[in-house]
Structure 1
Amino acid sequence: MMDGRNSLVLVVEDDLQTRRFLKVNLGRCGWRIIEAENGRAGLARVKEEQPDLIILDLGLPDIGGVVMVSRLRQLSDVPILVLSARSQEQDKIEALEAGADDYLTKPFSTGELNARLQALLRRTMKALTTDGVFVTGELTVNLAERKVFMAGDEIHLTPIEYRILTLLIRYAGLVVTHSHLLKEIWGGEHLHDNHYLRIYMGHLRHKLEANPARPKYLLTEIGVGYRLVENQAST
């Protein structure tokens, strides 16, 4: 099982106490931690150290959070987890659309933070290919043969339903924003047509979930997007 051992995490955070807390507690989980107290220092450390993951506070003293995410994205594809006291949906949407991979609101538990970092690391390491097979719980997707199975029974999906599912598989365990889904599936001119997603996600849930009203696999991140659960336990 993959863990954080030998993986380098850059913490970009202006609060000294938070940096110390993260260094001690994530260090116990096996992560190697380097720090930056502001945005400029963070950008410099990305160039110098090439970290495996970045934990980013949005409330930096010198560079705005969304701008910082965009600048990091210009430098590297390294996964970015935003760790912020800002809990409004719009803050989350803006950070994710700027290029962040995940968003965790303060206060947080070390256990959840560690789990989310592990998910980001798995995503970068597994490099899921088109000839692979994705499995979570009783859901199996054979990407080479474009076949979907639930508890061993083949499920017929329409082309759009299948494209939505495979896009969620690409980011399994992480939230995918409405706008990203709409742009990838229907094109940039449909960025505000959220009703498309509601309809097709409803269809997918009726085909893949035992109880579509209480989904286990296709979860809604209210106001932000959708998340496909990975490593769902079989029943």
Structure 2
Amino acid sequence: MALPPNAASASVLRSLRSEGVRVSSVSDGIGVLDAVRSGEPALLVLDVELPGPDQAAVLAAVHSEAPNIPVIAVTPRERRAGLLGQLRGDRDDYLLRPFAVDELSARIRLRLRLGAATAQTIPIVRMGDLTVDTEFGEVIVDGQPVALSPTEFSLLVALLAEPGAVVSHEKLAKQVWSEPASANLVQVYISYLRRKIGPERIRTVRGVGYILEG
């Protein structure tokens, strides 16, 4: 795993290494590409303001040369909109600067776990007029492509894993955020997801959780 210098704090390194994760740090875009080409890290944390080549080109090169490597992009808020179009739904994620060390650590653990799980699942899942390609992060609703954020996509995949069954707030929080999250946070992202795939597809079971229906 490669980390940019400003993200590779002693706290992050200690946290990840305590979990048996090997971490290396690079100082510019050329170093990112060299790391990817020489060792194919399990995950890449990419600072969009690293010196060197334009980071849009670096990210495109990583996706092209090492498509199986998930990317967590670290970005200032003003560059977020341009970055989102480059990220792949289920494989990539982003973090706004400034961020908490434990949040980065949680995002890394989540991406690594989702990557391992995706390799063991059927890549294309269909439920009524909803089609989800878990390999490429594509969602089709009523024949039309729908753009989801990485968190929204992870939430949809968690619901798809148990179609027609109630998935609790706690289980969704653990799968999507890799740690306990408030029921209110889950509810907020459920509302985002409903706006994009249709409110009728997700039913609320008050006080329990949510059901994905066809």
Q: Same fold (TM over 0.5)?
A: yes
1:17-166 alignment to 2 at 5 Å?
18-21=7-10, 22-77=12-67, 78-84=69-75, 86-88=76-78, 91-99=79-87, 101-126=92-117, 127-130=119-122, 143=125, 157=128, 159=129, 162-163=130-131, 166=132
- How far 1:210 moved relative to its partner? 1.4
Q: What TM-score comes out, normalization by structure 1 length? A: 0.54
Q: Which runs of 5+ in 1 are unaligned?
A: 1-8, 133-142, 148-156, 192-197, 219-227, 229-235
- How far 1:96 moved relative to its partner? 3.3
1:178-189 alignment to 2 at 5 Å?
181=139, 185-186=143-144
1:14 and 1:38 in contact (8 A); partners too: no
49-58 vs 113-122, which deviates more? 113-122
Q: CA RMSD in A?
A: 3.8
- How far 1:14 moved relative to its partner? 4.7
Larger Rg: 1
- The residue matched to 1:19 in structure 2 has which SS? coil
CA distance in 1, matches of 2:140, 2:123: 25
- How far 1:52 moved relative to its partner? 0.3
- How far 1:184 moved relative to its partner? 11
| Letter of the 1:19 counterpart | A
- How far 1:106 moved relative to its partner? 2.0
Aligned CA distance change for structure 1 residues 203 and 59 (closer, same or farther; 3 Å): closer
| Letter of the 1:10 counterpart | A
| Letter of the 2:47 counterpart | D
1:14 and 1:60 in contact (8 A); partners too: no
1:222-233 alignment to 2 at 5 Å?
none
1:36 and 1:42 in contact (8 A); partners too: yes
1:39 and 1:60 in contact (8 A); partners too: yes
Aligned residues: 159
CA distance in 2, matches of 1:118, 1:37: 23
Residue 152 of structure 1 corresponds to: none
- How far 1:98 moved relative to its partner? 2.1
Aligned CA distance change for structure 1 residues 97 and 183 (closer, same or farther; 3 Å): farther
Structure 1 stretches of 4+ with a deviation exceeding 6 A read: none
Aligned match for 2:200, one of 202, 206, 219: 206
34-43 vs 112-121, which deviates more? 112-121
CA distance in 1, matches of 2:49, 2:72: 14
Aligned CA distance change for structure 1 residues 130 and 48 (closer, same or farther; 3 Å): closer
Q: Which runs of 5+ in 2 are unaligned?
A: 148-191
